[in-house]
Structure 1
Amino acid sequence: MALYFIEYDLRKQRNYQALYDELASFGAVRVLESMWCFKRVNTTTVNLRDHFKRFIDSDDGIILSEVSDWASYGTQRSPKDLK
């Protein structure tokens, strides 16, 4: 099972709820204000990017990263909190 981080910049309208709801359905945890992490199998960062694009506006930005090693400090939560 791979660990992924998603980071986003919601610009003009800043409608977060659709994105938050979808992240919740993935079992994601919030690491920083605009960064969450979650685990998935049998997917790629491109597939995840295309999936999450449906939950943001066309002027927003997102980055999906598959992560094999990480360290944190002062975060709200961490990948260790994933179930």
Structure 2
Amino acid sequence: MAMILVSYDANTAGHDYDRLLDALEGFGAYWHCLESTWLVETRMSIAQVRDSLWLHMHPDDELLVMDVTNAPASWVGFGRECGDWLRDNL
């Protein structure tokens, strides 16, 4: 399983992003403690993740997908639940 970082800017006022959020939650294990940044655990490639999420976005939006499996990480300012998830899953 890979840990994938997903970050996006939803630039289209009035566009319904509910299906995008459902798709992100559908990965199963996920972290979502920043407004438009997610960590998701998946067997999909970064291109597959990108393509599956882009289906629910508008052409004026922006999407970044990166594999951060075993990458060093550091954080500060998160509550216990968010910090514990990062510690336990990264």
Please give the TM-score of this superposition, normalised by the length of structure 1: 0.80
For 2:65, the equivalent position in structure 1 comes to: 64
How far 1:16 moved relative to its partner?
2.6
2: CA distance, partners of 1:81 / 1:26: 17
What root-mean-square deviation, in Å, do the aligned CA atoms of Structure 1 and Structure 2 show?
2.0
Structure 1 segments of 4+ aligned residues over 6 angstroms from their partners = none
Aligned length: 81
1:15 maps to 2:10: no
User: Deviations for 1:30-56, whole angstroms, at most 9, x for unmatched residues?
Assistant: 031110111112x21111111110011
Question: Which region of structure 1 is more displaced relative to structure 2, 20-29 or 56-65?
Answer: 20-29
Higher Cα radius of gyration: 2
- Specify every segment of 5 or more residues in structure 1 that has no aligned partner in the other structure, as ranges: none
Question: Which region of structure 1 is more displaced relative to structure 2, 70-79 or 30-39?
Answer: 70-79
Question: What SS does structure 1 have at the residue aligned with 2:60?
Answer: coil
1: CA distance, partners of 2:88 / 2:22: 18
Identity %: 26
Please give the TM-score of this superposition, normalised by the length of structure 2: 0.75
Question: What SS does structure 2 have at the residue aligned with 1:15?
Answer: coil
